[in-house]
Chain A
Amino acid sequence: MDKQYLIDFETEVKERYEAGEIKAPVHLSSNNEDALIEIFGAHIDEDDWVFCSWRNHYHALLHGIPRDTLMDMIVRGKSMSVYSDKPKFYSSSIVGGILPIALGTAMSIKMKEEKNKVWCFIGDMTFETGLFYETYKYARNFELPLEFVVEDNNLSTNTPVDETWGGKQTVPADVYHYEYKSDYPHHGTGNWVLF
């Protein structure tokens, strides 16, 4: 799966949303294709769990959710809560909500002596919350198979993370981190849509 495949998918979602076909919010990705292709291609196995936020279409495709299945979900209004049991994928629309859930799944993997991992993709606002630090500290202290990826656009909706926190924390060396600037707004496409 290459960069253009991801861009084309998101463009189709954009067009179908603007046509009034999708009657629920969509949160589109752009300009983070290379970073995600690298992370999924080099590190994430098909049997791993992936936990995501409301902006999850690229992650779902890269983890193996079939294109048609994903598009059907989005058209049915499920863009913010894309899920799958095979491959294992769960997303939530609440800042920070997936962190402790991912932690528990990682804990169960260790308890059951399974070999897979849990990947938790969060934004940089979520990274700054206390919930991240509880989750991170517990996961590392108990050596749980949980990896974090901070997707940093310095925005939460339209709120600047650095300005509202008065600065940003340093991302630990064992947490994946990339920066990007999306061409899309927080939700929708930036164009007026008549539903």
Chain B
Amino acid sequence: MKYKDELIRSMEWLAEKDDTTFIGQSVAYSGNAIYNTLKTIDIDKRIEVPVFEETQMGMCTGMAMNGIVPICCFPRFDFILRCMDALVNHLDKMQHMTEGTFKPKVIMRTSIGSTNPLDGGIQHTQDYTDPIMRMLHEVNVVSLNEPEQIFPEFEEAYNTDCSTLLIEWGDYYNEK
């Protein structure tokens, strides 16, 4: 299967779980590549939110503390910089701070913006994988480079007892 098809397959598998919900900007309304991987998901499983990345990230953490598994979607990696406090200081530190009592499981999706055939520009195409891996200690960071990785990585993200940030490549939606 191709890159985008593997993403769709993974989302459909996650959607079968009773405890998952998909949350973010353009999860229920079109506007970015990630939306095209969620179109087959029941609309009741999708929560479109305002553009408030920090609040969105914190919300997902709070939902996860009470047993929901949010699939927290940020259309571009660049936008995750808007939620660094909620991600780095809170979600990523919670197991340490609570000595393992709270282990919020948030599955985060983001995408490095495509440059071909359209170049999204310097604010929409950055790859922050290396610095974010160095900042995060409790959150797994996975770069989705090949189609065959995708489904097993989302399976692992759901089955583990911590949070995972899965980084997609916008260009691969068409190339691979």
Q: Chain B nearest CB: distance from A96 CB in Å?
A: 8
- Determine if B128 is an interface residue (Cβ-Cβ < 8 Å): no
Task: List residues of A (74-98) whose CB comes within 8 Å of B's CBs.
Answer: 78, 81, 83-85, 90, 92, 94, 96-97
Q: Cβ of A100 and Cβ of B86 under 8 Å apart?
A: yes
Q: Chain B nearest CB: distance from A47 CB in Å?
A: 12
Picked from A83, A103, A112, the residue with its CB within 8 Å of the CB of B59 is: A103
Measured in the bound complex, the distance between the Cα atoms of B168 and A3 in whole Å is: 55
- Determine if B40 is an interface residue (Cβ-Cβ < 8 Å): no
Q: Cβ of A108 and Cβ of B68 under 8 Å apart?
A: yes
Measured in the bound complex, the distance between the Cα atoms of B55 and A134 in whole Å is: 7
Picked from A81, A90, A112, A135, the residue with its CB within 8 Å of the CB of B65 is: A90
Measured in the bound complex, the distance between the Cα atoms of B55 and A138 in whole Å is: 10
Q: Cβ of B55 and Cβ of A100 under 8 Å apart?
A: yes
Known: A101-B65, A134-B52. A107 touches B97 (CB 8 A): no
What is the total number of residues of chain A having a CB less than 8 Å from a CB of chain B?
28
Picked from A94, A104, A131, the residue with its CB within 8 Å of the CB of B63 is: A104
In the complex, what residue of chain B is closest to A94 when comparing beta carbons?
B89
Q: Which residues of A contact B60 (CB under 8 A)?
A: 104
Known: A83-B97, A100-B55, A101-B58. A90 touches B21 (CB 8 A): no
Q: Chain B, 72-93, contact with A by CB distance < 8 Å: what is the 0/1 string?
A: 0000000000000110011000
- Determine if B62 is an interface residue (Cβ-Cβ < 8 Å): yes
Q: Cβ of B62 and Cβ of A103 under 8 Å apart?
A: yes
Q: Cβ of A105 and Cβ of B90 under 8 Å apart?
A: no
Picked from B50, B62, B70, B90, the residue with its CB within 8 Å of the CB of A94 is: B90
Q: Which residues of A contact B21 (CB under 8 A)?
A: 111
Measured in the bound complex, the distance between the Cα atoms of B66 and A116 in whole Å is: 12
- Determine if A60 is an interface residue (Cβ-Cβ < 8 Å): no
Q: Chain A nearest CB: distance from B24 CB in Å?
A: 13
- Determine if B57 is an interface residue (Cβ-Cβ < 8 Å): yes
Picked from A83, A99, A134, A138, the residue with its CB within 8 Å of the CB of B102 is: A83
Q: Which residues of A contact B102 (CB under 8 A)?
A: 83, 85, 90
Q: Cβ of B62 and Cβ of A102 under 8 Å apart?
A: yes
- Determine if A106 is an interface residue (Cβ-Cβ < 8 Å): yes
Known: A85-B101, A135-B55. A101 touches B90 (CB 8 A): yes
9 inter-chain pairs at a CB distance below 8 angstroms, sorted by A residue, are: A97-B89, A100-B59, A103-B55, A103-B62, A111-B63, A111-B68, A131-B55, A134-B50, A134-B55
Across the A-B interface, give the 5 residue pairs with the lowest CB-CB distance, nearest first. A100-B58, A104-B62, A104-B59, A105-B62, A108-B66
A81-B98, A99-B55, A112-B67 known; 19 new pairs, CB 8 Å cut-off, are: A83-B101, A83-B102, A90-B65, A90-B98, A100-B56, A100-B86, A101-B86, A103-B62, A104-B61, A104-B70, A105-B65, A106-B62, A108-B63, A108-B67, A111-B63, A131-B55, A134-B52, A134-B55, A135-B55
Chain B positions near chain A (C-beta within 8 angstroms): 21, 50, 52, 54-68, 70, 85-86, 89-90, 97-99, 101-102
